Structure 1
């Protein structure tokens, strides 16, 4: 009797779940929106979950499938999402109607991970606006200039390490080396702590970086946590960082703040700048802001934003995770393209030598920023391999996409709904970039970049919510590449994997088979 009852319960549960799945996956069909068909609980993500395809590649395949559409429907597990292809519509969502799409869809629910959700990446509405407004002055061009010598110090140590080796051709895995450099730059530019992780391989910053960015295996599913099941994430209390990593940042940030208050020490690093922001003394001295968002939310001019030490800890932790993996991968991709495109590398080395000679052997911030060919090389690499391969926005007020093409109907987007902008796919669309899979830095020459359609190049996102650390990332990449080429030429070796294969387990665009390259002394 028990067995029969149990079997009946299982059968009813199976029927309920199956019907629930079918109902969820009818969302786009009921709205007559072109969409990628889905049949399982994974929605359209089965190939990503089972490591058969990277998410950027999946989006590119579906992007091409709907070549004559402005948008199409997609399922992230059982959650419907809208993929936006049309550039004018992307501009409308990210800029013109930003007040209706000012938030990012949550990765993890606030109840599951309050620490992560205090960070600038996850904050919403006025809280995001106030925090962004308060911290933006820490990332202006003039503040980057102040950190320049901290970055160059790390880059010099990095290059010295390899120059001191006896071999004429040094073969090594570039990603491993550049994550160590990124860790050193972070330690120096944020905390004023000097490390050389190529030598001190067990220093805390490098070790914590590896732990913070461990999304291997099932851990990677947390990046789709809210789409998978917000309820499950809450029950399991899934967090972005484990307790060891979180406590490390709390201890380090709070310890640094107390030490500086006691000693009066001032350094032009991120801790100092964020503390100045906390005290309301950080002034935006830049006139080159790409977007204005001061009027997006009503602000009481007499009310100061309260920034706690915990807020600073959260921003630094998020900043670290972006820098450790994102900037390391971006630097690797630039160096990899130089290795397999020796003609481009030779031309860049010529510019490096001329620039160094004009500075009497000591590069300055101004001289680095004037290096046009270096900027072209980095820009083209970021087109092929954008640091942010896609980004998403959450609808905060009901919005209607009006029909423009034959057969389109008005599409009403509800509050809380997510839309995704596939940067990787846009950057490789032949409508915008001829021969899009070819590495051609000349696309970004002064003459040619004027012909690039506006808003089709967006490596750091678009609109008021574009990446706040973009200047820092660009500067770190350029400094690393510059110093490496002053003493070495990068060459392919036997273990170099060509062509580039996107890592199916990574959330950033990096090579699945690593970056095995050789450094040949110049």
Structure 2
């Protein structure tokens, strides 16, 4: 009998603990999504009832006329900001209060993951951002463009040869794009040419697929564990990503850096830039920068990213930056490419107009490899990519955690943020699809970004690479990759829908990933 009583008391105490934070928004008069004990506002994700995008939209429109509303990630209060001006206030004007992302994996658990720019905090993040900022300027992209263009040309030639010899011309586009992006990373980071279309079983591609399988049940469970019980996961030292695969890339990074330093090898790639950062000789060249044209979606660097850095970095710090460059450059860019391919297949009029622009550029450069300035001159290509990033942003949400106590006052309301406790969530996907900002938002319409119309877009409502000083540092590189592959693809192929193309797309009910149910299938038909 005593055991039963103690058990019931324990259950009661656990229940009270699980709901102890749930009065957070009620006390402040902020409308909020009613949570379940321990699970919080995640019930539809937890029980696989809806996709992540559906859940996000439900949160966004639950209190339609409110600029902000509350929800709970398990026990943790999260403020969902829906008003672009409030987002700008917190993420830009009051950045010092909201400098950090929430911590999922710390460097004491996994140095390769915890030391990267996305995970770093406070002054260490400031110094690393300023250190790396010169590596992602337009002038540095110009230097790396030759590698990207070479891979783009090789990709198109390999596919043409394969189709001529009787190979298939129907592709799952995410898989296709992943091969291109891993070839780019191998070339621009490690100085290795692997050609994943000729050698689809190469070690780089195989390991990259294992690391970035975020939609797997196992990875989702680990991710949920770090969100709900971070201290326990750290004590148990459970790695989010596959350790063997991470070790492979870590060794490749270290080996390449050591070989370069030992033999004095110089190559205009990411490893070379990391070595310059290590030696304190990586810096902005403002005279060159003024001449570089950027695409509409390019994230602008803040003054914080141009400050002087005196901190010394070791190989582990820089290896972590190469690793996150790989993660973002492989998975996120491949996902965006798959959506570009999908929209071009579904909108042949858009594809034809883009093909004509590409043909004109090819004639202008006499069929030579395209360079950085030439790819940036193509206005319709930029409009197509910009519209894809509006409709299908690579990161559907981003977050910030309050680092100092803060009060947000608006519309006769006052929300109190507690340092290192309260998180703000920025629903990029939902803002991009809000008819208040984009007419007929579900339509793919690159003309939104032509010279006349793009002036009318409120920049606070277009956030494909995040917002404020903590935006994506690699936006120029990502855009260069995407534009280059579609330049060479459309020059050589038309992209067609097939019987396997799912229209409209449906998504898997995975908690933390955007994954089309049946993939994105297209046919690449060689042009005459």
- Do both proteins adopt the same fold according to a TM-score greater than 0.5, normalized to the shorter chain? yes
Q: Paired residue for 2:334?
A: 328
Question: In 2 relative to 1, CA 142–453 (structure 1 residues): closer, same or farther, beyond 3 Å?
Answer: same
Q: 1:320: Cα distance to partner?
A: 1.0
**Where does the alignment leave 5 or more consecutive residues of structure 1 unmatched?**
none
Of 16-25 and 84-93, more deviation after overlay is shown by 16-25
Secondary structure of the residue that 2:313 maps to in structure 1?
A: coil
Task: Spell out, residue by residue over 1:167-213, the C-alpha distance to the aligned partner (whole angstroms, 9 max, x if none).
Answer: 59711211111111111110000010001112222222112211211
Q: Residues 221-260 of structure 1 correspond to what in structure 2 (within 5 A)? A: 221-260=221-260
Residue number among 340, 360, 384 corresponding to 2:346 in the alignment: 340
Secondary structure of the residue that 2:468 maps to in structure 1?
A: coil
TM-score normalised by L of structure 2: 0.93
Secondary structure of the residue that 2:57 maps to in structure 1?
A: helix
Q: 1:290: Cα distance to partner?
A: 2.1
Q: Residues 102-251 of structure 1 correspond to what in structure 2 (within 5 A)? A: 102-164=99-161, 165-166=163-164, 170-215=169-214, 216-251=216-251
Q: Paired residue for 2:265?
A: 265
Q: Paired residue for 2:440?
A: 435
Residue number among 394, 406, 412 corresponding to 2:401 in the alignment: 394
In structure 2, what is the Cα distance between the partners aligned to 1:305 and 1:439?
A: 46
Of 131-140 and 57-66, more deviation after overlay is shown by 57-66
Q: Residues 54-69 of structure 1 correspond to what in structure 2 (within 5 A)? A: 54-69=51-66
Question: In 2 relative to 1, CA 249–468 (structure 1 residues): closer, same or farther, beyond 3 Å?
Answer: same
Q: Paired residue for 1:21?
A: 18
Q: Residues 302-451 of structure 1 correspond to what in structure 2 (within 5 A)? A: 304-362=310-368, 363-404=370-411, 408-416=412-420, 417-451=422-456
Q: Paired residue for 2:294?
A: none
Q: Paired residue for 1:290?
A: 300
Secondary structure of the residue that 1:193 maps to in structure 2?
A: coil
Of 451-460 and 197-206, more deviation after overlay is shown by 197-206
Q: 1:225: Cα distance to partner?
A: 4.3
**Where does the alignment leave 5 or more consecutive residues of structure 2 unmatched?**
291-298
Q: Paired residue for 1:11?
A: 8
Q: Paired residue for 2:30?
A: 33
Q: 1:295: Cα distance to partner?
A: 9.1
In structure 2, what is the Cα distance between the partners aligned to 1:295 and 1:435?
A: 36
Question: In 2 relative to 1, CA 483–214 (structure 1 residues): closer, same or farther, beyond 3 Å?
Answer: same
The answer to whether the 8 A contact 1:387-1:509 is kept is no
Of 476-485 and 219-228, more deviation after overlay is shown by 219-228
In structure 1, what is the Cα distance between the partners aligned to 2:186 and 2:147?
A: 10
Give the superposed CA RMSD: 1.9
Residue number among 475, 483, 491 corresponding to 2:488 in the alignment: 483
In structure 2, what is the Cα distance between the partners aligned to 1:347 and 1:85?
A: 35
In structure 2, what is the Cα distance between the partners aligned to 1:95 and 1:346?
A: 40
The answer to whether the 8 A contact 1:336-1:515 is kept is yes
- The number of residue pairs the alignment matches comes to 512
The answer to whether the 8 A contact 2:112-2:319 is kept is no
The answer to whether the 8 A contact 1:112-1:233 is kept is no
Q: 1:509: Cα distance to partner?
A: 3.7
Of 24-33 and 383-392, more deviation after overlay is shown by 24-33
